[in-house]
Amino acid sequence: MDGLALLLAATLNAGTALAIAGIGLLINERAGVINLGAEGLMLVAAIAGFATTVHTGSSWLGFGAGMLSGAVLASLFGLLVIWLNTNQVATGLALSLFGGGFSAFLGISYVQEKLGEQPQFSIPVLGDLPFVGPALFRQHPMVYIAIVLTVLLAWFLYRTRAGLVLRAVGESPESAHALGYPVRRIRLAAVAVGGAMCGLAGAYISVIYTPLWVEGMIAGKGWIALALTTFATWRPARVLLGAYLFGGVTMLQFYLQGNGVHIPVQFLGMLPYLSTVVVLVLISSNANWVRANMPASLGKPFFPGS
């Protein structure tokens, strides 16, 4: 039972970064912009957050630094794709490549650094319950924040006027423009917020989850988060669900390893990537399902008056 509780706890923890990045990317995709630079953003945010935490001793300042760096880089990407109409796929790739190099460059002197002991969290009373206590209620606050953010996003998208406008911009920028909404500014704001969320996720990985800095440490989580939005057919709650699913797959490899299952570590390591492919295949093969939910202008530039 204890092992299972720990596996559950580890799954939630592993899924949290994916969930935060995933719902961030969902926001900008709902506005019609696909940011393939997520991996690069998360890498730069990871080192920014890690370095800040090393120097200040505060993981929350680290998260802030991660969010800020994510928002700045994403805005740069946004300026290129929204105002200069560059190709979204190519520009996102450029961001990922740049982020990989830039983070390695920034992080050189932090490779050997260690963070101080992090406090243990436990929700009073609930944390002391048998089984569910260690499984669900002794997590880092960010695990719960991810859930709250998901609920907030769902409420924002489907229950507020601003959310409606955001979706309109993603579905039909021409109509939104005709109604007088500043399509490009809304898109830029969505991209910046999405970048900040990716940054938060990156900083969470380097400051809490791992916690250390290694070159390329995001190891494809940015790309998996991108796949999550498709998997979730652009619904916030499904992003969260998918993130926990992937968290579970990631944890499964350590669980199997720990329980003496004789599969080479490399094959266990392939699990998250292979499951991403399998999941993409399963979701995409149902064309109607994807088409019904995908923001209609996703990836397409909008140039008012053209």
User: Which residues make up the interface to another protein (CB under 8 A)?
Assistant: 36, 40, 80, 83-87, 89-91, 93-95, 97-102, 104-105, 108, 215, 219-220, 223, 226-227, 230, 264, 266-267, 269-270, 273-274, 276-277, 280-282, 284-285, 287, 290, 303, 306
Q: Which two tokens stand for residue 298?
A: 């996703």
**What phi-psi label fits residue 131: left (phi over 0), alpha (psi between -120 and 50 degrees) or beta?**
left
Q: Measure the CA–CA gap between 243 and 236, rounded to whole angstroms.
A: 11
Cβ proximity to another protein: between 9 and 227 the closer is 227
Please compute, for residue 148, the number of CA atoms within 13 A of its CA located in the half-sphere on the CB side.
Answer: 5
Sign of CA dihedral 114, 3, 241, 282: positive
Minimum CB distance to another protein, residue 131 (Å): 34
- Beta carbon of residue 244, minimum distance to another protein (angstroms, whole number): 19
Comparing CB distances to another protein, the nearer of 58 and 286 is: 286
CB 255 within 8 A of CB 7: yes
The percent of the chain in helix, strand and coil, each rounded to the nearest 5, is 75, 0, 25
Q: Which residues contact 169 (CB under 8 A, 6 or more apart)?
A: 31, 32, 176, 181, 183, 186, 187, 190, 297
Q: Minimal distance in Å, beta carbon 137 to another protein? A: 34
Q: How far is the CB of 152 from another protein (least distance, A)?
A: 27
Cβ 65 to another protein shortest distance, Å = 19
The minimum distance between CB 243 and another protein, in angstroms, equals 16
| Sign of the CA dihedral running 174, 178, 184, 190 | negative
Token digits of residue 136: 């669900």
Going by the DSSP 8-state scheme, the letter that residue 232 receives in this structure is T
Amino acid code (one letter) for 60: W
Question: In the complex, what is the shortest distance from the CB of residue 35 to another protein, in angstroms, rounded to a whole number?
Answer: 12
Q: Is 249 in contact with 275 (CB distance < 8 Å)?
A: yes
Nearer Cβ to another protein, position 91 or 172? Answer: 91
Three-class secondary structure of residue 57 per DSSP: coil
Q: Closer CB to another protein, residue 181 or residue 273?
A: 273
- CB closer to another protein out of 8 and 17: 17
Residue 69 amino acid letter: S
> With respect to another protein, which residue has the nearer C-beta, 37 or 170?
37
Pick the closer one to another protein by CB: 5 or 94.
94
